[in-house]
């Protein structure tokens, strides 16, 4: 939906000097989410390896691209077109990570079930 909206906005501002480009990184796994901070300043945040990996994938994603981790691809295999994996080093990880640049299936094709993505403990 974000990519589609960016395309609409770019169509509206096509005559101007600016373009809206959104790169997205998605990783799956267990994270800690909650309110952190002191009495003076609190904020809701999530921490953990998937948060860091998603941030690194977002940096790899050029405008309009979506990059997902290998674990996310396993969860969404029916929802994405087959793609070849990419392997590259990113900050904070000792070994090269496996990631996929994806394109969502469209035009009335089956939508994925997201139930397996939201396992809460």
Number of CB atoms found within 10 A of residue 75's CB: 16
Is residue 35 one of the residues assigned to a domain?
no
User: Which range of residues forms the domain containing residue 72?
Assistant: 2-11+21-29+43-105
Return the ∠ at Cα 61 (arms to 90 and 93), rounded to 5°.
Answer: 15
Number of domains in the chain: 1
What is the C-alpha to C-alpha distance for residues 120 and 61, in angstroms, rounded to an integer? 28
CATH code of 100's domain: 3.30.70.1230
pLDDT in single tens digits along all 121 residues of the chain: 666 777 777 677 777 777 777 888 999 999 999 998 898 999 999 999 999 999 999 998 887 788 999 999 988 876 777 678 899 898 999 999 999 888 755 544 444 444 444 444 4
């Amino acid at each position: 939906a974000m990519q589609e909206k960016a395309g609409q906005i770019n169509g509206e501002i096509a005559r101007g000097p600016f373009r809206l480009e959104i790169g997205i990184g998605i990783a799956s796994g267990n994270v800690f989410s909650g309110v952190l901070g002191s009495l003076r300043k609190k904020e809701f945040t999530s921490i953990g390896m998937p948060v860091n990996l998603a941030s690194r994938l977002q940096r790899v994603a050029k405008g309009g691209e979506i990059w997902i981790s290998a674990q996310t691809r396993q969860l969404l295999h029916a929802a994405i077109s087959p793609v070849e994996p990419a392997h590259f080093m990113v900050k904070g990880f000792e070994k090269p990570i496996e990631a996929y640049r994806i394109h969502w299936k469209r035009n009335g094709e089956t939508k994925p079930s997201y139930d397996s993505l939201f396992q809460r403990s």
